[in-house]
Structure 1
Amino acid sequence: MANIAFAQEITLDKIYSGYYRGKGISGISSLKDGENYAVIEREGIVKYSYKTTQKVGTLVEGGFESYTFSDDESKILLQKESEPIYRHSFLGKFDVKDLKSGKVISLNNGNFVQEPKFSPDAAKVAFVVDNNLYYQDLASGKITQITTDGKKNSIINGIGDWVYEEEFGHADFYQWSKGSDALIFVKSDESKVPEINIPIYGKNLYPKLMTYKYPKAGEVNSTVSAHLYQLSSGKTLDLNLSNFENYYIPQVYSTAKNDEVAIATSNRHQNKVDILKVNTSTGAVSKLISETDNAWIETDGMTLEFLDDNSFLWASERSGFRHLYWFDAKGNLKKPVTKGNWEITDYYGFNPKTKEVFIQTTEKGSLNKVVSKVNIDNGKMMLLSQAEGNNRADFSKNYQYFIETSSTANKPYVYTLKDGNGKSLKELQNNDALLSKLNADNIATREFITIPNEAGDQMNAYIIKPKNFDPNKKYPLFMYQYSGPGSQSVSNSWDGGNGLWFNHLVQKGYIVACVDGRGTGYRGTKFKKVTYKNLGKYEIEDQIAAAKWFGNQSYIDKSRIGIFGWSFGGYMTSLAMTKGADVFKAGIAVAPVTNWRYYDSIYTERFLQTPQENPDGYDQNSPTTFAKLLKGKFLLIHGTADDNVHFQNSMEFSEALIQNKKQFEFMAYPDKNHGIYGGQTRPQLYQKMTDFILENL
């Protein structure tokens, strides 16, 4: 149903041709002097003045994927090419350029490395090759091998195994001491971890096997240990963690002391975390603080920042909301830095001159992210960004300036230079041209509403109605959700991904809505952690309640409600089509988990404990258990080479549906991973989903 004859409209061809591609600023990095910043442009890495916003010069010519300065900015590490491994990890080729002499040397003789890091004195770069840790002296070019026992699918030094990388959110697990004379690294022995085998079809006569270690819920994890390498002696010491939590080592941190590094360790349930300090001269380990929680600790997003006097800031949910706490160097609590019924969502830094901490928060409501500063002595807070929308900041090193990146649900990204008190100095980049194209193509606006659930909560939701919306008409409803723990799909921010596709559907006569139910984030722990040990139960109850609420609105046709989601959202769609079969007419599940027994240990056990401890939490919230309830039209989609949510999930659910004589549609994407993209894959996928909706909803 087009709005008007010959109307300009948002089409899949336009979405996937790049017609709606926005403009951004790439690789923003403040320089040490606080007066200039660097960005990546076509000609290379370019230097700009904050004061004049004019180009000052080119630091390095040529094309680079990314760059990192040494602490003193005498050298720059340039990433020339890369080959992805998993979500965060990649093999890269790097050069180091001396910005004073202009001399360039290749890291590891121009061969691939992983996770290179400058030493704080800029004299060395450490890196990992074939699961072993090395460092290269930049003056002589000499490469020193630190570990020798690295072996594929067995021993890993300095980087994480698959599950560490995926669920702790980073690939590097080593750190230089501030004195540049020692390295602390994590060793993972994954030899006893069960393997997953994924066939790779390609154009091979016989499919190849991709084999790697993947600990599923309740299975054996890597045995991890922490080690100290001292450069002067060339010796490696084993660190004794036996008196502390030591099942996981999620993070290694620099401190402000030359001879000290901090590590975070955790129990298997991830509801107790120890922050330990390691003396890099002696190898002595002592505890700074312990954090405990009745449910779980967000081990994948911990904030720990050491200040100049080695006191430190730590983010905790102990009050029921995520806030910053200030501890002295010995681990005694000095004071809470922030408090209130809102959350800290990002930490940007501390200005020792003004005693101010720079943060991103939800203080203006859970739909918005704003940038503020707070004085850690007197608690005085000041809003620096706009009060609405999604705002983030790249601060200058002296905190006199920042570049604000902001968007709202109905306005794409704007980049603005501001001073340290939030005063706008100059707009650096907007996306007015993109907005003009979208307006010309009749983009519909996103409205925010709240919807009650059965527990008495008001759930955040958005709704997109056709531009020629007629309140006297009944429209089919297409619901999108993700719903994973601590996630947020309903926010006052630009959605250049699915948002455009949703508009395409709205122009075909659908209403699109999204609801964040219990378990989602930024509203405090009571709302988020109610799902503990029962993942999926309350989340699907809330989606069903929301669909029923919509069905009772005069403008919705309750016999035509559909639902879509990817990953955790695909799991939820599968539950909606079984447990909610009387409410949902059609559903599309992409790359779904269909039983948490098949998913990885760190993520799953954080929320459910192990299947041995909590079998019902797994089986009573699995769509496979309820396959016999399917009624509506169901499209199941999965990439065969998904290293994250294995194809096995969809095979298992398919078999349950088949044995219950249920008809459904299935689409497999050969050799595609969890993202399902490459070549013409995405256009084909979204055309397939669009056709399915048009035919069945």
Structure 2
Amino acid sequence: MSFPRQQARTRRFTIGVPRAFQVSPDGRRVTFLRGRNGEDAATCLWIRDLDEAAERVVADPRTIGADDEDLPAEERARRERLRETGAGIVSYTVDADFTRAVFTLSGRLYTADLAGGAAPSGVAAAVAPVVDPAVSPKGDAAAYVSGGALHVVGLDGGGDRVLAEPDGDGVAWGLAEFVAAEEMSRYRGLWWAPDGSAVLAARVDDSPVARWTISDPANPDAAARTMAYPAAGTPNADVRLAVLSLDGDGLAEPRWIDWDRDELPYLARAGWTGRGAGGGAPAGSGTGAPPEVVFTAQSRDQRTLALLRADPLTGKAVRELAETDATWVENMPGVPAFTASRELVWIGRGEQDGRRALLVGGRESGPPGGAYLRAVADVDGDRVLYSASPAGRPGEVGLWLLDTATGQTSAVEVPHEASGGGRPGGEGAVLSGRLGGGTLVVQRRGMDADGVRTVLMRGAESGGAPVVAGAVESFAPAPDLPVPNVRFWSAGERGVPSALVLPSWYDPDAEGTAARLPVLMDPYGGPHAQRVLRTRSAYLTSQWFADQGFAVVIADGRGTPGISVEWEQAVHGDLAGPVLEDQVAALHDAAARFGCLDLDRVAIRGWSFGGYLASLAVLRRPEVFHAAVAGAPVTDFSLYDTHYTERYLGTPQGRPEAYARSSVLEGWAGQNRPLMLIHGLADDNVVFAHTQRLSSALLAAGRAHTVLPLSGITHMASEETTAENLLLLQVEFLHRSLGSGPNPR
């Protein structure tokens, strides 16, 4: 099987990889999602018993008899925001005692027994379609959304009750609005109280938001889809929070949470103190104190992020702390959270060097050695698991375990034999993990092995080094591709993290110009994403392009994470200049350093922000870049959403010059270079209007270009045939444009 087909069929080798781990309170069991093999997209729910070293399938869509094809529109939108390409059981929640899980298939609610092994069963009383269900901490009920109404249904024969229903057009309860899910990593809008007596829910009114229409010209008989899209400088959805008690019958009387929504309109995180299992609440206090509502809210200019607590009975909120920055404040993953001693776990700016610091009870508690802090992964009692990159090594991600009682911090190290033969810990690799009941689930991706290694470790609560207690196998197949041939370095005076991928068959020591290779720049290049990581999976597609006869250069310039806050904020007010300048610097440094790059034949390709960067490169710097493939490019930031765009550029009304600097629609150089634009017509993130506007402007200027519209494809071009052929068409276009030939061995 060819690599393009294999990658498309396995959805970039993600099918069969275990994910979405949850750990029981006693640390003895873990649940996770995984397909039955590397090509079966019908994801199953599994459970692993560490004491017995055994695992079993808890719920299999095929035996349940639901194919998960008939998805409600709200669920399709939720998966699009999550970039979820899987099928079957794609998410689930568990109760506090780890006895029951709930999930949906084809818009119907199912419950699974985690303790006794009984077969999963549908919940007949639930009103279909069911969207984003959450099991109560006691495991006796589930909250979910259907038709914009918030329901609670009994799981042991009880009936279904509507707690809150839409009170106007555009109103929905219990779901995350577009910008929360797309940009703030908040994917839900309901959270159970720790004792199961109430539900905290978001009421979203998107009636102020502009309506955009997405249609499919290939199917003119199909109705166009209208969506609420908050473009930069236009109104956002109105979001409120309310506590809905389960006391009584019928609709609950909302107890509104009161905060200054004019000053802080963005709801970034929400939950409860105390361990509200299944509801995404912050980690628990464990002291028996009455739970409070806790949430973070952000100003529209994103220069203020406040943490607030609220009394669930009165709704009165008080501000516990606020982070401010003259540029912007980042919403950091995993916080707020609370230790068993009720100390707040937070990520804020450190007092000495301005780096992000882990704060526990207001004390700076990490990371060590000036590392770049990325996220809090879990809080387990008085222990905090967090991720960070060692200083000067942005392509590596390690895990650290902090004992807040003693202040001791230790790096999580995976023994050599358990890490697939690679080096221990996060050295030369990317680690991610979960922690519960003293059990660690560590996933390792490295340059020394294919795919993902998942290791289970016990004893994290003892103060000593955790020991390996088993592994969870990945069923993803090995890529039908040579081991990526990658060289890493820091390019230019700014030290841009860079990687060069050479063909597996290429001899870089060969002399003469005939040995030099055409160059393909392969960046993302924008905020919140890195391409230069110490993991093989990051270079599979690049290696395939290299083996077609290219020297592939990847660079993470200013604006990308992993180095410092200042590095990320260097794109403020200009998303074009710094990122393009750093790509050129990395290219020229690579040519001088390695000597095998032909700078007379340079192409660039990318998707989303990478597509924006590719089109920008060939239009503004045609003396450097001779051809480009731009997939789903943002060409006019006034067409992109509020929370992302205004963070970097302000509003179009207030800072039109920033939008002009960052636009692909102007600032072109005189020389015309081949440009292929690829865009899904069903894309509701970067809408097709971006490509259409650029194509119209190019046509008006008499500039030849190619447009490849993809009927029915969203921002994720994951459909198998489309994904396979996109790679083949791109490489053919690039060879033709550069005058090079395929695989010149």
The CA deviation at 1:60 is: 5.3
Task: Give the match for residue 478 of structure 2.
Answer: 434
* 1:612 and 2:653 aligned: yes
* 1:382 and 2:407 aligned: no
Task: Give the match for residue 345 of structure 2.
Answer: 313
Partner of 1:612: helix, strand, or coil? Answer: coil
The CA deviation at 1:601 is: 0.6
Question: Deviation per CA, 1:73-119, whole angstroms, max 9, x where unpaired?
Answer: 2322143x24xxxxxxxx55433658569594516536221121122
Task: Give the match for residue 12 of structure 1.
Answer: 4
Task: Give the match for residue 224 of structure 1.
Answer: 239
Distance change >3 Å, CA 54–CA 109, structure 1 → 2? closer
Task: Give the match for residue 137 of structure 1.
Answer: 154
Task: Give the match for residue 242 of structure 1.
Answer: 260
Bigger drift between 676-685 and 392-401 goes to 392-401
Bigger drift between 459-468 and 97-106 goes to 97-106
CA contact (8 A) 2:450 2:478 kept: no
Q: Count how many residue pairs are aligned between Structure 1 and Structure 2.
A: 661
The CA deviation at 1:396 is: 5.5
Query: Which whole-Å CA distance do the structure 1 matches of 2:264 and 2:270 have between them?
Result: 13
Query: Which whole-Å CA distance do the structure 2 matches of 1:678 and 1:125 have between them?
Result: 33
The CA deviation at 1:194 is: 0.8
* 1:367 and 2:395 aligned: yes
Q: In the alignment, residue 24 of structure 2 is paired with which amino acid?
A: L
Question: Deviation per CA, 1:543-571, whole angstroms, max 9, x where unpaired?
Answer: 12222333445321111111111001111
Q: In the alignment, residue 325 of structure 2 is paired with which amino acid?
A: D
Task: Give the match for residue 519 of structure 2.
Answer: 477
The CA deviation at 1:680 is: 1.3
Query: Which whole-Å CA distance do the structure 1 matches of 2:58 and 2:541 have between them?
Result: 40
Task: Give the match for residue 135 of structure 2.
Answer: 118
* 1:325 and 2:359 aligned: yes
Matches within 5 A, 1:498-513: 499-513=539-553
Question: Deviation per CA, 1:421-453, whole angstroms, max 9, x where unpaired?
Answer: 244455554789727x54xxx44421111111x
The CA deviation at 1:184 is: 2.1
Task: Give the match for residue 330 of structure 1.
Answer: none
Query: Which whole-Å CA distance do the structure 2 matches of 1:185 and 1:656 have between them?
Result: 45
Task: Give the match for residue 296 of structure 1.
Answer: 328
Query: Which whole-Å CA distance do the structure 2 matches of 1:74 and 1:296 have between them?
Result: 42
The CA deviation at 1:621 is: 1.8
Bigger drift between 355-364 and 666-675 goes to 355-364
Partner of 1:575: helix, strand, or coil? Answer: helix
Distance change >3 Å, CA 666–CA 428, structure 1 → 2? same
* 1:518 and 2:549 aligned: no
2:374 to 338, 345, 352: 345
Q: Percent of aligned positions with the same letter in both sequences?
A: 21
- Structure with more strand by fraction: 1
List alignment gaps of at least 5 residues for structure 1. Answer: 1-8, 83-90, 328-332
CA contact (8 A) 1:372 1:383 kept: yes
Q: In the alignment, residue 653 of structure 1 is paired with which amino acid?
A: L
Question: Deviation per CA, 1:137-188, whole angstroms, max 9, x where unpaired?
Answer: 3345222212222566x11212122222211223312222223222222222
Query: Which whole-Å CA distance do the structure 1 matches of 2:582 and 2:665 have between them?
Result: 20
Bigger drift between 127-136 and 551-560 goes to 551-560
CA contact (8 A) 1:127 1:134 kept: yes
CA contact (8 A) 1:177 1:183 kept: yes
Partner of 2:600: helix, strand, or coil? Answer: strand
Question: Deviation per CA, 1:665-692, whole angstroms, max 9, x where unpaired?
Answer: 1111112111123241112211110111
* 1:407 and 2:446 aligned: yes
The CA deviation at 1:30 is: 2.4
Distance change >3 Å, CA 172–CA 311, structure 1 → 2? same
The CA deviation at 1:654 is: 1.1
CA contact (8 A) 2:21 2:434 kept: no
After TM superposition, the score normalised by the length of structure 2 is 0.82
Query: Which whole-Å CA distance do the structure 2 matches of 1:679 and 1:356 have between them?
Result: 43
Query: Which whole-Å CA distance do the structure 1 matches of 2:701 and 2:333 have between them?
Result: 42
Distance change >3 Å, CA 671–CA 384, structure 1 → 2? same
1:464 to 486, 501, 504: 501
Query: Which whole-Å CA distance do the structure 1 matches of 2:103 and 2:617 have between them?
Result: 48
Q: In the alignment, residue 117 of structure 1 is paired with which amino acid?
A: A
Distance change >3 Å, CA 616–CA 380, structure 1 → 2? same
Distance change >3 Å, CA 229–CA 93, structure 1 → 2? closer
Distance change >3 Å, CA 148–CA 404, structure 1 → 2? closer
Query: Which whole-Å CA distance do the structure 1 matches of 2:525 and 2:125 have between them?
Result: 44
1:75 to 100, 107, 121: 100
Distance change >3 Å, CA 447–CA 425, structure 1 → 2? farther
The CA deviation at 1:660 is: 1.5
List alignment gaps of at least 5 residues for structure 2. Answer: 37-42, 65-87, 275-288, 414-424, 739-745
Q: In the alignment, residue 574 of structure 1 is paired with which amino acid?
A: S
Partner of 1:288: helix, strand, or coil? Answer: strand
2:632 to 585, 591, 596: 591
Task: Give the match for residue 549 of structure 1.
Answer: 589
Q: In the alignment, residue 565 of structure 2 is paired with which amino acid?
A: T
2:25 to 32, 47, 60: 32
Question: Deviation per CA, 1:297-351, whole angstroms, max 9, x where unpaired?
Answer: 2237362112233321011245533321113xxxxx2444435422222323234
Query: Which whole-Å CA distance do the structure 1 matches of 2:476 and 2:164 have between them?
Result: 53
Partner of 2:583: helix, strand, or coil? Answer: helix
Query: Which whole-Å CA distance do the structure 2 matches of 1:463 and 1:101 have between them?
Result: 50
Task: Give the match for residue 82 of structure 2.
Answer: none
Task: Give the match for residue 88 of structure 1.
Answer: none
Query: Which whole-Å CA distance do the structure 2 matches of 1:407 and 1:431 have between them?
Result: 17
Query: Which whole-Å CA distance do the structure 1 matches of 2:410 and 2:528 have between them?
Result: 26
